[in-house]
Every structure is written in structure tokens, then in C-alpha cells.
Chain A
């Protein structure tokens, strides 16, 4: 069974600080996706990384896929209260149905 360990589970910081969320596994994934989920809503895709070592930037968010395609990180620069939410990483299987394996999520709170 493929597992994704996401850390930290909870993070509360002040506006303007930087933070990093990690997603680690012993399994290789064909791609890794980061979602953000608001209360009462479904996960909304932020980014997909496919190539080992790939780095993608989305404004103040930087996503990196590990060289071995087993881990990923999400770095937020100068966090703002609007960044508050549940962040989920999900790995897509290399073979078969390509179902997503989700991490437990990181509940991020940015205090003004």
C-alpha cells in the first residue's frame, strides 16, 4: 500500500512569515498534485508536478518534486491570511488506474 506522509499536520504562523509543507513517501509516483480545500468544498487543484526535480511557482507558492519522485514540498513566501486553509498532497500511481493517494493534509492558519 502506497502511503504519503504529510507534515506538519497543523501550522499557525503570523502574516508575513515563510513556511514549508512536506510530503514524503517510500513509493514512486507518476505525478504529485497539491490541492487546497476550503470548508464545505471539494479539493481544488493548485499544481501538478510530473518530472523528478521539477519546480513550479504560483505567485508566492513554490512547489518542488523530489528527484526520485517520492517526495514533494510546498513553500509559501510572505504568508497572508488568505492562504489559510487545508493543503493536501496527492500522488498518482505509476501503474494501473492512476488513483490518487492522499496525505493527511496540513491545516494552515495565517494570523493577521
Chain B
């Protein structure tokens, strides 16, 4: 158990809908990272938050947004969903210190039908 909790584990929805994925980092970790894993794309970095502030952005679509709350949990919001958004979404956390390894949650499997 990595200590990173993601909910829900599975999510099935329709095109055009909006969903929210939740991540609770390991106790004491200030930094949260979101990644998308598609069958043919590997793990792609989406966005990072550190202590409530956005720190880095990767290949995140404008339809997607995220935030980190004062209690350090994070949410990834996906809107106007398309079939191609079906993927595994992972959250990882660490203390934010340089060279500190990231610990991954079990992921949320999103299926857009």
C-alpha cells in the first residue's frame, strides 16, 4: 500500500459528461501529480500541485482542470468527455523535495461510452 488513495476505482460515463476524480496524498506529502495512462500512450504527465498551488503543467487538455485543497487532497475534473478520454488516471504524491520519489495510487479507470 503506497498510502495514496484514489476514488473512485472505476467510473463509467457517457460522452459529453463531466466527472471528478479524487486523490488523497500520503500523510505529510505536499505535492500531488496527475498522470494519464492510455493503452497506446504509456503514462503521460498532466499536472502538478504543491501545497495548493499549481507548479507544473504537462499535456493537459483545456477540458481538464485540477485543484488542491487546504487539506492537500486533490481533484481532477474532466468535462465534455470524449471516447478518447477513456484511460487510467493515476495520482502520485511526494514531499516536493528535489529528487524525492513519487508514490502512486491504484488509479481510477475511466470508461467513456
Residues of A within 8 A of B (CB): 30-31, 33, 35, 40-45, 48, 50, 88, 90, 92, 96-105
| B43 proximity list for chain A (CB < 8 A) | 43, 88, 90, 100, 102
B25 proximal to A (CB < 8 A): no
Size bracket, chain B contacts: 20 to 34
Q: A43-B90, A45-B103 are in contact. Are A104 and B42 (CB under 8 A)?
A: yes
B90 pairs with A96, CB closer than 8 A: no
A43 pairs with B48, CB closer than 8 A: no
| B45 proximity list for chain A (CB < 8 A) | 99-101
- Minimum CB–CB distance from B8 to chain A (whole Å) comes to 13
Name the residue of chain A whose CB is nearest to the CB of B10. Answer: A40
| A96 proximity list for chain B (CB < 8 A) | 56
Residues of B within 8 A of A (CB): 2, 4, 6, 33, 35, 42-45, 48, 50, 55-56, 58, 90, 92, 98-107, 109
15 A–B contact pairs at CB < 8 A? Answer: A30-B99, A42-B90, A42-B107, A43-B104, A44-B2, A44-B104, A50-B99, A97-B50, A98-B98, A99-B56, A100-B33, A100-B43, A100-B92, A100-B102, A102-B35
Name the residue of chain B whose CB is nearest to the CB of A88. Answer: B43
**Bound CA span A62–B4, Å:** 27
**Bound CA span A35–B33, Å:** 16
Q: Which of A42, A50, A99 has most B Cβ within 10 Å?
A: A42
- Minimum CB–CB distance from B36 to chain A (whole Å) comes to 11
